[in-house]
């Protein structure tokens, strides 16, 4: 492996300005990739990340879009075409996640969660994946959820959307092979919610057979591994959860 295995490659990371998406973007940049930072409302965080990527010595652009709106996704893709920007690596990291107790789930709520977490990754993967296929090379990484094996209450639309993204990983791997590899990473607790206390992290550590707390870098390192070393891997969904789901 060279010092910059992704030199001259361009990566688009959705939801890149915050949390796990940010760690993924920085890991790809440190591996040599130029970046397209997607954001919706986090413009300040996006600008700060772009400055950090520039300081590493990589090219970077930011691209804004509401992933619940197909028209805005189409505009994003048109913008890439207009500037003749080829995407070699697509990481579908953006997601919406909030409680939806039974009785509170409206058609609008269901559609919004499915649109961002499942439809948007498909629309981006279809358009960019076919272009990767035509260029004979490319990688798509979807971020799912390790708790698909053990879903919990009050998140039915969220888990339905992530289940759709998980099976989509397999079908797109078939459709885009052999030129494009499509895989998924299913994180466990690698970053506590913004309002979490110390006990939340302690509980997450106790649930892990490894007795370790997860970090965003555990996910970002796997992303880099898959796009640099995973020549015989496609259609797979890797649980990165410290073993929590096997307890």
User: 104-113: b or e for each residue (b if 16 or more CB lie within 10 Å)?
Assistant: eeeeeeeeeb
14: tokens are 């959705």
Report how far residue 200's alpha carbon sits from residue 87's, in angstroms, rounded to the nearest whole number: 38
Report how far residue 191's alpha carbon sits from residue 22's, in angstroms, rounded to the nearest whole number: 12
Catalytically active residues, by annotation: 158
Cβ atoms within 10 Å of 83's Cβ, excluding its own:
8
Answer whether the bond into residue 172 is a cis peptide, omega within 30°.
no
Question: CB within 8 A of 98, min separation 6: which ones?
Answer: 158
């Amino acid at each position: 492996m060279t010092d910059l295995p992704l030199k001259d490659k361009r990566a688009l990371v959705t939801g890149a300005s915050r949390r796990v998406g940010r760690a993924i973007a920085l890991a790809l940049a440190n591996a040599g990739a130029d970046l397209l930072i997607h954001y919706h409302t986090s413009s300040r965080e996006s600008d700060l990340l772009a400055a950090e990527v520039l300081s590493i010595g990589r090219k970077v652009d930011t691209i804004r879009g509401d992933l619940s709106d197909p028209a805005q996704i189409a505009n994003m893709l048109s913008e890439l075409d207009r500037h003749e920007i080829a995407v070699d690596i697509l990481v579908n990291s953006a997601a919406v996640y909030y409680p939806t107790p039974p009785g509170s789930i409206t058609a609008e709520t269901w559609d919004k969660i499915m649109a961002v977490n499942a439809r948007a990754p498909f629309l981006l993967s279809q358009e960019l994946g076919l272009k990767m296929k035509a260029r004979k090379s490319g990688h798509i990484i979807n971020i799912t959820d390790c708790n698909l094996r053990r879903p919990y209450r009050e998140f039915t639309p969220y888990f339905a959307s992530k289940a759709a993204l998980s099976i989509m990983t397999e079908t797109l791997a078939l459709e885009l092979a052999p030129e494009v590899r499509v895989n998924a990473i299913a994180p466990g607790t690698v970053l506590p919610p913004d309002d979490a206390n110390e006990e939340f992290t302690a509980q997450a550590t106790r649930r892990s057979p490894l007795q370790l707390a997860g970090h965003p870098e555990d996910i970002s390192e796997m992303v880099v591994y898959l796009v640099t070393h995973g020549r015989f891997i496609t259609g797979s969904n890797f649980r990165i959860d410290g073993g929590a789901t096997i307890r």
